[in-house]
Amino acid sequence: MKICRLFDMERLDKILVSQGTGSRKEVRELIKRGEVCVNGEVIRKADFKADPENSSITVKGQAVNYSRHIYIMLNKPSGVVSATNDNHDKTVIDILPEEYKRKGLFPAGRLDKDTEGLLIITDDGDFAHKMLSPKNHVEKKYIAKLDKEITEDTIKAFKNGIVFADGTKCMPAKLEIMTDSDNKKGIVTICEGKFHQVKKMFLCCGINVVHLQRISIGNLYLDSKLPIGSCKLLTKLDKELIFIGNIH
Ligand code: URA
Q: Which of 92, 113, 115 to mutate to test the pocket of ligand 1 (most atoms within 8 A of CB)?
A: 115
CB contact at 8 A, 11 and 48: yes
Supply the pLDDT for residue 3: 55
Shortest-distance Cα residue to atom 2 of ligand 1: 196
Q: How far is the CA of 161 from the centre of ligand 1 (A)?
A: 16
Residues with CB under 6 A from ligand 1: 111-112, 115, 196-199, 212
pLDDT tens, per residue, the chain with 248 residues: 555 565 579 999 999 988 889 888 999 999 999 999 999 999 999 999 999 988 999 999 999 988 889 999 999 999 999 999 999 999 999 999 988 888 899 999 999 999 999 999 999 999 999 999 988 999 999 999 999 999 999 999 999 999 999 999 999 999 999 998 899 999 999 999 999 999 999 999 999 999 999 999 999 999 999 999 999 999 889 999 999 876 44
Q: Which ligand 1 atom sits closest to the C-alpha of 82?
A: 6
Supply the residues annotated as catalytic. 112
Supply the pLDDT for residue 246: 62
Provide the angle, in degrees to the nearest 10, between the axes of the packed helices 125-132 and 236-243.
Answer: 30
Rounded Cα distance, 139 and 125, in Å: 19
- DSSP letter (8 states) at residue 4: P
Q: Which ligand 1 atom sits closest to the C-alpha of 110?
A: 6
Supply the pLDDT for residue 6: 58
Buried b (16+ CB within 10 A) or exposed e, 88-97: eeebbbeebe
Supply the pLDDT for residue 102: 86
CB contact at 8 A, 109 and 131: yes
Other CB atoms closer than 10 Å to residue 168's CB: what's the count? 12
Shortest-distance Cα residue to atom 7 of ligand 1: 111
Q: Which ligand 1 atom sits closest to the C-alpha of 115?
A: 6
Which residue, 65, 40, 35, is CA-closest to 53?
A: 65
Sorted by where each starts, the structural domains of the chain and their CATH numbers stand as: 6-63 (3.10.290.10), 71-134+220-243 (3.30.70.580), 139-217 (3.30.70.1560)
Rounded Cα distance, 115 and 142, in Å: 10
Q: Kindly give the pairing relationship between strand 140-146 and strand 174-177.
A: unpaired
Q: How far is the CA of 180 from the centre of ligand 1 (A)?
A: 23
